[in-house]
């Protein structure tokens, strides 16, 4: 979204900002200046005092292009937008905040951020202004939006407003935009939201909660989505992170390798993505993360990584033969090719900007000719280019020289020894459209191609995860059974048993058609990788909550009178006990503030059901049950009991701790005939909370 020409703020009016509401979306707005003598400095931060000194330094260093990646054109003003992700050390102390210990990598190598619980996403609007009258021929500043949420669909268009506005009116732009944002409703993952900003409105799709990292505040309370091999027809609804990234544009020169990249990310292999500029770099990382939707990506990804990141010192110390942690690092500085030479997979994407001092050797699979109509990027074209004598010689030279050949000329290429199980889908490649060189047509065709690729990889990932669906399958009470018992547990998961069963029955036709014979090894690597357990645990949590919701719904709809009319006296006591337990549990949830929106209605229904069951019990049984003061309080408001002939009427009173209720109950039982005493004792033994 471009900045609206009519967008303006009344600078004479002091804005009112609700800090708590602002934090739901944004941590801070920053303005960062590159000082020739002091380096990167944060000159404005709103709200003030929300960042530590070490965080300010890290954010400042991440908010500018590396000097090596800056292009050399002499246009007066150049703007670019990119984003980064850094670890926030919330409890860091001065002096050790920038220390990074291998202990902050968990047992699978996933970065956990020592002394921290959240990441910060920084969305950057960078402006380079060339002026020969200034030292070094120009200056540069960046406006940064910091958030705990990876909402690129929100913050990129917002940057296009706040960035130019800041360079027009200065610090007041940050305050006024913050005031607008603080009036937004709370973010609702997975929904389309209209967010007013001045005279404009941002219409955005937020990624679903199941795809959000835990530190981003993703909720498990949404209904469980099916993992069966089913792909919704409405592709405008996002299914994962960065659904708006340009997947086709980022990897246009490597289309045949997309299935390899999908598999590398699926199993959590470490990757270094190098591009000439920060926008190309972060777009490629975001597109790669989006490939595995709807899977929760638990690999630590850094869209724009610099040598100033505290993690770099640890990564730089990894020796040959040591395991590299599963990370996706997007870089522009060629120094990383030497510093991180032990990383097993290197991907080079993008093309140098005009007038750059880096040579571009394009390997894109386009026809390179103008046409009056779009042409398909046919597999035959790709195949001919891939297997021509010149391309074979180039591939041999690339493998021999390794990634260090990028030091002299830029190429779109992949260096990896990984043997993929997934085969490229040629039918998908044949559907892609080559728009030629027209920028306007290029943008439109990229949208079409992105939809084609996203739908395919969404279907591929969904079918890959389908064999796990039995472990998330929910149940509802069968017809005629009582919904007041506890629902059955979800099936337990054992990796060896799962692989054995999968080997016997297969993963399904869709996967078998698109994978080689070693497909079972891919599942084994996935189970041992960093993505499986966080995704599996979250899906189990959602499935358990969905099952609980279905059983709660069944209890609300149950006709208690019809149910108890079919029960024996013993089953009636069982039902009373079960309803009482459910009511107490619901009341505890209410008191702790964890009750759902229907908690009050559920309590009222359970209380009414408890009373209904109580009313059909024999009168002598009713009186004995009321000897328990807690149970009596649940039954307050019940109709007055009639005194049975020859039986004492029990007056409900609070029993002191020195006079246990079971002793009083025993006295009451003695007042009945021997046969009645046996029956009552046996029924009361079924009720929790009573001892005899």
Contact status, residue 636 vs residue 613, Cβ threshold 8 Å: no
The mean pLDDT value for 385-404 works out to 67
Higher-scoring residue by pLDDT: 306, 625: 306
What confidence tens digit (pLDDT) does each residue in 491-513 have? 999 999 999 999 999 999 999 99
Estimate the crossing angle of helix 519-528 against helix 258-267, to 10 degrees. 40
**What confidence category does residue 287 fall into, taking pLDDT thresholds of 50, 70 and 90?**
very high
Q: Using one digit for the tens of pLDDT, what is the confidence trace for 470-490?
A: 999 999 988 878 899 888 999
Q: Which pLDDT value is given to residue 215?
A: 56
Which pLDDT value is given to residue 399?
73
Confidence of residue 285 (pLDDT cuts 50, 70, 90): very high
For the chain, give the mean pLDDT: 79
**Per-residue pLDDT at 108:** 47
SS3 77: strand
List the end-to-end C-alpha distance of the chain, in Å, as a whole number: 74
Task: Summarize the chain as % helix, strand, coil (round to 5).
Answer: 45, 15, 40
pLDDT for 309 beyond 60: yes
**Three-class SS of residue 197?**
strand
Looking only at the bridges linking them, the beta strands covering 327-331 and 271-274 are: parallel
Stronger pLDDT, 368 or 153, i.e. the higher one: 153
- For residue 535, pLDDT beyond 70: yes
Asked whether the predicted pLDDT for residue 199 surpasses 90, the reply is no
Average pLDDT over residues 518-541: 95
214 confidence band (pLDDT: 50, 70, 90): low
Q: Which residue has the higher pLDDT, 191 or 392?
A: 191
Q: pLDDT band at 621, cuts 50/70/90?
A: confident
Which of the pair, 636 or 216, is modelled with greater confidence? Answer: 636
Tokens of 312: 């770099």
**Residue 13 pLDDT:** 58
Range name among 106-115, 272-281, 400-409, 463-472 with the lowest pLDDT average: 106-115
| Residue 40: per-residue pLDDT | 84
Token code pair at residue 194 = 């209209």
Task: Check: CB of residue 249 under 8 Å from CB of residue 443.
Answer: no
pLDDT level of residue 230 (50, 70, 90 thresholds): very low
Q: Give the CA angle between residues 188, 7, 30 to the nearest 5°.
A: 65
The pLDDT of residue 638 = 44
pLDDT tens sequence across 571-591: 888 888 899 899 888 888 888
Q: Answer whether residue 422 shows pLDDT above 50.
A: yes
Is the pLDDT higher at 522 or at 103?
A: 522
489-528 in b/e burial notation, b at 16+ Cβ within 10 A? Answer: ebeeeeeeebbeebeeeebeeebeebbeeebeebbbbbbe
Residue predicted with more confidence, 354 or 264: 264
- Indicate the pLDDT class of residue 372, thresholds 50, 70 and 90: very low
Distance of alpha carbon 641 from alpha carbon 614, whole angstroms: 11
Burial of 360 (0-12, 13-18, 19+ CB in 10 A): middle
The pLDDT-based confidence of 391 (bands split at 50, 70, 90) is low
Contact between 328 and 347 (Cβ < 8 Å): no
What does the longest C-alpha to C-alpha distance in the chain come to? 110
Round to whole Å and give the CA distance between 183 and 501: 53
The pLDDT > 70 percentage for the chain reads: 72
Question: Mean pLDDT across the stretch 341-348?
Answer: 94
What would the two tokens of residue 229 be?
């091999």
Average pLDDT value for residue range 35-52: 85
pLDDT, position 355: 58
Question: Is 60 exceeded by the pLDDT of residue 602?
Answer: yes
State mean pLDDT over 381-396. 57
Give tens-digit pLDDT for 637-689: 444 333 333 434 333 333 333 434 444 344 444 444 555 555 555 555 555 44
Tokens representing residue 40 in the block: 């990167």
pLDDT tens-digit profile of 445-461? 888 999 999 999 999 99
Is residue 274 within 8 Å of residue 405, measured between CB atoms?
Answer: no
Is the pLDDT assigned to residue 608 strictly greater than 80? yes
Question: Could you read off the pLDDT of 154-163 as tens digits, one per residue?
Answer: 999 999 999 9
Which residues, listed in sequence order, are joined to residue 329 by a DSSP beta bridge? 272, 302
Q: Is the pLDDT of residue 439 over 50?
A: yes
For residue 7, what pLDDT is reported? Answer: 58
For position 247, what pLDDT does the model report? 95
């Amino acid at each position: 979204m471009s900045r609206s020409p009519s967008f303006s703020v009344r600078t004479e009016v002091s804005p009112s900002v609700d800090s708590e509401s602002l934090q739901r979306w944004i941590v801070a707005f920053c303005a960062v200046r590159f000082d020739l003598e002091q380096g990167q400095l944060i000159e404005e931060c709103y709200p003030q005092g929300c960042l530590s000194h070490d965080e300010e330094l890290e954010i400042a260093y991440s908010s500018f292009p590396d000097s090596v990646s800056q292009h050399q054109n002499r246009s007066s003003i150049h703007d670019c937008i990119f984003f980064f992700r850094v670890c926030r050390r919330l409890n860091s102390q001065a002096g050790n905040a920038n220390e990074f210990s291998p202990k902050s990598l968990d047992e699978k190598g996933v970065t956990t951020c020592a002394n921290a619980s959240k990441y910060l996403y920084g969305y950057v609007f960078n402006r380079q202004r060339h002026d020969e009258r200034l030292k070094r021929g120009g200056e540069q500043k960046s406006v940064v939006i910091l958030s705990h949420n990876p909402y690129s669909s929100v913050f990129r268009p917002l940057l296009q407003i706040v960035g130019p506005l800041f360079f027009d009116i200065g610090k007041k732009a940050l305050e006024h935009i913050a005031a607008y944002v603080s009036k937004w409703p709370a973010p609702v993952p997975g929904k389309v939201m209209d967010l007013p900003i001045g005279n404009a409105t941002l219409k955005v799709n937020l990624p679903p909660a199941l795809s959000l990292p835990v530190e981003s505040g993703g909720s498990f309370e949404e209904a469980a989505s099916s993992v069966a091999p089913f792909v919704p027809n409405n592709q405008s609804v996002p299914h994962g992170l960065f659904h708006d990234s340009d997947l086709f544009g980022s990897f246009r020169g490597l289309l045949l390798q997309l299935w390899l990249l999908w598999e590398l990310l699926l199993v959590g292999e470490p990757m270094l993505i190098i591009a000439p500029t920060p926008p190309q770099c972060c777009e490629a990382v975001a597109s790669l993360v989006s490939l595995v939707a709807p899977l929760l990506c638990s690999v630590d990804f850094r869209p724009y990584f610099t040598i100033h990141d505290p993690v770099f010192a640890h990564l730089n110390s990894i020796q040959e033969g040591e395991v590299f942690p599963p990370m996706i690092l997007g870089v522009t500085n060629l120094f990383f090719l030497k510093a991180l030479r032990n990383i097993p997979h290197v991907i080079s994407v993008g093309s140098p900007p005009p007038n750059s001092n880096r040579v571009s050797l394009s390997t894109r699979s386009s026809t390179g000719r103008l046409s009056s109509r779009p042409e398909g990027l046919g597999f035959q074209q790709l195949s001919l280019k891939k297997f021509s004598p010149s391309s074979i010689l180039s591939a041999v030279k690339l493998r021999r020289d390794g990634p260090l050949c990028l030091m002299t000329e830029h190429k779109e290429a992949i260096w990896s020894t990984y043997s993929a199980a997934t085969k490229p889908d040629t039918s998908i490649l044949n559907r892609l459209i080559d728009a030629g060189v027209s920028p306007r047509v290029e943008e439109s065709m990229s949208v079409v191609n992105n939809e084609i690729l996203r739908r395919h990889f969404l279907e591929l990932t969904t079918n890959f995860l389908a064999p796990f669906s039995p472990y998330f399958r929910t149940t509802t009470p069968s017809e005629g059974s009582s919904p007041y018992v506890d629902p059955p547990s979800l099936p337990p998961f054992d990796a060896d048993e799962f692989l054995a069963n999968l080997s016997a029955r297969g993963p399904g036709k869709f996967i078998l058609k698109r994978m080689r014979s070693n497909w079972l090894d891919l599942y084994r690597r996935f189970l041992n990788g960093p993505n499986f357990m966080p995704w599996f645990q979250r899906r189990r949590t959602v499935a358990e909550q969905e099952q609980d919701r279905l059983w709660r719904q069944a209890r609300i709809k149950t006709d208690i009178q019809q149910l108890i009319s079919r029960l024996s006296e013993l089953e009636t006591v069982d039902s009373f006990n079960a309803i009482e337990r459910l009511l107490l549990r619901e009341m505890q949830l209410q008191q702790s503030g964890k009750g759902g929106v229907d908690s009050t209605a559920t309590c009222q229904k359970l209380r009414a059901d408890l009373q209904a069951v109580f009313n059909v019990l024999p009168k002598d049984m009713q009186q004995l049950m009321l000897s328990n003061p807690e149970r009596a309080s649940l039954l307050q408001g019940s109709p007055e009991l009639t005194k049975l002939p020859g039986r004492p009427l029990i007056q409900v009173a609070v029993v002191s701790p020195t006079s246990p209720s079971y002793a009083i109950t025993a006295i009451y039982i003695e007042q009945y005939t021997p046969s009645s005493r046996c029956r009552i004792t046996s029924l009361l033994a079924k009720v929790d909370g009573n001892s005899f």
